[in-house]
C-alpha cells in the first residue's frame, strides 16, 4: 500500500489504488488496466493484498467524521484519488497534451513525454507510467540532480558556508564546456538510460589552469548530460516527429537562468519556463478539478504556461556541447569496468 492509498483510505474509509501508482510500481498490465498476474507472481505478491484499481480522477468518497476530527477539515469534502508524483507533475506543468515534453531537476531529474498509448522500450531504457484519461507518460529519471549540487555546496562550504546563488555565480564565470572538464555526475548510481547502480562520479580533464568556477560549471553540465541521454533514448523510441513544441521546465533548477541555458544548448531546443514551477502540486489540483467537474479534461497548458518565458539555445554553446557529449559518452562506457572494480574494492571484496 502506498502512502497515498493510506491517506485516502483514512479520509474516506475506502482503500483503492490508482493506475498511475500501480504502473509506477511495475505491477500494472498496460493492456487490461488491471493488476498484472505475471508481475505479481514474479514479485511474490498476493493479489489479495492489493487494493482495487481505479482511475486517478475517481471521486472515491468524502471526508468523514474521523477525517474532520483528525485534520480540522469539514465533513463532506470530495476526495479525489489522484495519481503519482510524475504524472501529476506532467499535468501541472501543462504538458498533458500528446507529444508534449517536461524536463525536471529537483533532488533527482527526469524527462517525460505524454503519449496516447502505452509505449514500451525493448532496450529497457525508458519507463512508461499511466497518467489519466487514457494518457501515458514515457520517459526516464536520473538519480543525480540537485543532490549533486548540494554535495558540492557542502564540500566547498565546509570552512565557510556558501549559498546556491553564490555557486551559480561562480559557475557562470566559466565558459560552456568548462574549458574541457567533463563531470560524470553518477554520485548516486544511475537509473535511466543505463540503469547502472555501480556507476560512479568522475571529473575528467583537470589541469592546473582549472579553478573552482570550472568545476562548478562542469557539475551543472554533468547533470544535464544525463538528461541528454534520456532525451536521446526517448527521441529514438518515439521519433522526433512525435515531439510537440518546446520542452517545459519544472523543479528547483528552473530558478537558475544558467542551468536552463545549459539545458537548452545541450538539447539544442527551446526550454519553456512557466511562472508556476511546482508542477506536482498544480497537477494534483488539476486532477481534482477535472474529477469534480470544475474543469474539462487535463489540458492545463493555457492556464499553467500563461506568462511563461522561453530560453533559446546558444548556437556556439550547442556546437561545443555536441563535442563534449561525444567525450562524455565515450568516458562513461569506457569506465564501466572501472566502476565495477571500485565498487568491489569499496565493499571489501
165-198 pLDDT, tens digit per residue, is: 999 999 999 999 999 999 999 999 999 999 999 9
Residue 93 has what pLDDT?
A: 87
Q: Is the dihedral of CA 136, 139, 143, 144 positive or negative?
A: negative
> Grid coordinates in use for 47?
493479489
Which of 43, 60, 82 is where one domain is finished? Answer: 82
Q: Do residue 134 and residue 253 come from a single domain?
A: yes
In a domain? residue 285: no
Contact 313, 267 (CB under 8 A): yes
Contacts of 333 (CB under 8 A, 6+ apart): none
CATH of the domain at 349: 3.30.420.40
Q: Give residue 146's Cα distance to chain centre.
A: 12
Cell matching residue 283: 497537477
- Give the separation between CA 142 and CA 229, rounded to whole angstroms: 10
- Is 146 among the domain residues? yes
Q: Are 9 and 58 in contact (CB under 8 A)?
A: no
Does one domain contain both 78 and 132?
no
* C-alpha–C-alpha distance, residues 77 and 63, integer Å: 5
Residue 289 falls inside a structural domain: no
Q: Which three cell numbers stand for residue 250?
A: 519544472
Lowest mean pLDDT among 38-52, 183-197, 223-237, 269-283: 269-283
pLDDT digits 0-9 by tens, 296-326: 777 766 666 667 899 999 999 999 999 999 9
Residues 102 and 8 in one domain: no
> Are residues 71 and 124 located together in one domain of the fold?
no
109-130 pLDDT per residue, tens? 999 999 999 988 999 999 999 9
User: What is the reported pLDDT for 305?
Assistant: 67
Total number of domains in the chain: 2
Please name which of 102, 199, 193, 96 lies closest in space to residue 148, comparing C-alpha atoms: 199
Check whether residue 144 and residue 230 sit in a common domain. Answer: yes
Q: How far apart are the first and last CA of the chain?
A: 37
pTM score: 0.91
Question: Does any domain span residue 88?
Answer: no
Average pLDDT on 242-251 reads 84
Q: Is residue 10 part of a domain?
A: yes
How many angstroms separate the CA atoms of 99 and 235, rounded?
Answer: 11
Asked if the bond preceding 193 is cis, omega within 30° of 0, the reply is yes
Residue 245 has pLDDT above 80, yes or no: no
Identify the sign of the CA torsion 294, 306, 85, 138: positive
pLDDT attached to residue 300: 67
Say how many CA atoms lie within 13 Å of 111 toward its Cβ: 25
Q: Which regions of the chain does DSSP assign to beta strands (E)?
A: 17-18, 53-54, 59-62, 78-80, 101-105, 109-115, 127-132, 135-142, 182-184, 202-204, 247-250, 271-273, 309-311
pLDDT digits (tens, 9 = 90+) for 39-94: 999 999 999 999 999 999 999 999 989 899 999 999 999 999 999 988 998 998 88
Check whether residue 111 and residue 230 sit in a common domain. Answer: yes
**β-strand partners of 137:** 114, 129
Which residues partner with 138 through β-bridges?
113, 128
Q: Are residues 314 and 337 in the same domain?
A: yes
Pairwise CA distance, residues 284 & 79, whole Å: 12
264-289 mean pLDDT: 90
For residue 193, the enclosing domain spans 95-277+300-349
Mean of the per-residue pLDDT values of the chain: 93
pLDDT of residue 273 exceeding 90, the answer is yes
Residue 295: inside a domain: no
| Residues 69, 211 share a domain | no
Q: Which of 82, 113, 134 is the last residue of a domain?
A: 82
Would you state the pLDDT for residue 116? 92
Residues contacting residue 29 through CB under 8 Å, at least 6 positions apart: 35, 36, 37, 39
Q: State the pLDDT confidence band at 282, using cuts at 50, 70 and 90.
A: confident
Q: Decide: residue 337, CB within 10 A, 0-12 exposed, 13-18 middle, 19+ buried.
A: exposed
On whether residue 176 sits in a domain, the answer given is yes
**Which residues are bridge partners to 110 per DSSP?**
104, 141
The fraction of the chain above a pLDDT of 90, given in percent, is 81
pLDDT-based confidence at residue 241 (cuts at 50, 70, 90): low
pLDDT of 333 strictly over 90: yes
CB atoms within 10 A of CB 146: 20
Identify whether 90 is part of a domain: no
- pLDDT of 242 reads 77
pLDDT at 299: 72
* pLDDT at 349 exceeding the cut of 90: no
Amino acid at each position: 500500500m502506498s502512502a497515498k492509498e493510506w491517506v485516502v483510505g483514512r479520509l474516506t474509509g475506502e482503500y483503492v489504488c490508482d493506475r498511475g501508482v500501480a504502473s509506477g510500481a511495475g505491477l500494472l498490465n498496460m493492456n487490461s488496466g488491471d493488476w498484472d498476474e505475471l508481475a505479481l507472481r514474479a514479485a511474490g505478491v498476493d493479489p489479495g493484498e492489493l487494493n482495487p484499481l481505479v482511475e486517478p480522477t475517481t471521486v472515491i468518497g468524502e471526508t468523514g467524521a474521523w477525517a474532520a476530527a483528525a485534520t480540522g477539515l469539514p465533513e463532506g469534502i470530495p476526495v479525489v484519488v489522484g495519481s503519482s508524483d510524475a504524472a501529476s507533475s506532467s499535468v501541472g506543468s501543462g504538458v498533458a497534451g500528446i507529444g508534449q515534453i517536461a524536463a525536471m531537476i529537483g533532488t533527482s531529474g527526469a524527462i517525460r513525454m505524454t503519449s496516447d498509448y502505452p509505449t514500451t522500450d525493448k532496450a529497457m531504457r525508458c519507463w512508461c507510467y499511466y497518467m489519466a484519461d487514457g494518457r501515458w507518460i514515457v520517459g526516464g529519471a536520473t538519480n543525480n540532480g540537485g543532490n549533486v549540487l548540494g554535495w558540492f555546496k557542502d564540500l566547498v562550504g565546509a570552512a565557510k558556508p556558501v549559498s546556491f546563488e553564490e555557486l551559480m555565480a561562480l559557475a557562470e564565470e566559466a565558459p560552456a564546456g568548462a574549458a574541457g572538464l567533463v563531470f560524470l555526475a553518477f554520485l548516486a548510481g544511475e537509473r535511466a538510460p543505463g540503469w547502472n547502480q555501480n556507476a560512479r562520479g568522475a571529473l575528467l580533464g583537470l589541469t592546473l589552469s582549472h579553478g573552482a568556477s570550472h568545476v562548478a560549471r562542469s557539475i551543472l553540465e554533468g547533470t544535464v548530460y544525463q538528461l541528454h541521454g534520456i532525451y536521446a533514448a526517448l527521441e529514438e523510441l518515439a521519433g522526433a516527429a512525435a515531439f510537440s513544441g518546446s520542452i517545459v521546465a519544472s523543479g528547483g533548477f528552473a530558478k537558475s537562468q544558467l542551468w536552463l541555458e545549459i539545458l537548452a544548448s545541450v538539447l539544442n531546443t527551446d526550454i519553456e519556463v512557466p511562472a508556476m514551477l511546482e508542477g506536482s502540486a498544480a497537477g494534483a489540483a488539476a486532477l481534482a478539478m477535472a474529477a469534480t467537474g470544475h474543469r474539462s479534461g487535463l489540458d492545463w497548458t493555457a492556464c499553467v504556461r500563461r506568462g511563461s518565458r522561453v530560453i533559446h539555445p546558444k548556437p556556439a554553446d550547442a556546437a561545443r556541447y555536441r563535442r563534449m557529449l561525444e567525450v562524455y559518452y565515450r568516458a562513461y562506457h569506457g569506465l564501466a569496468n572501472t566502476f565495477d572494480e571500485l565498487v568491489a574494492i569499496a565493499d571489501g571484496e
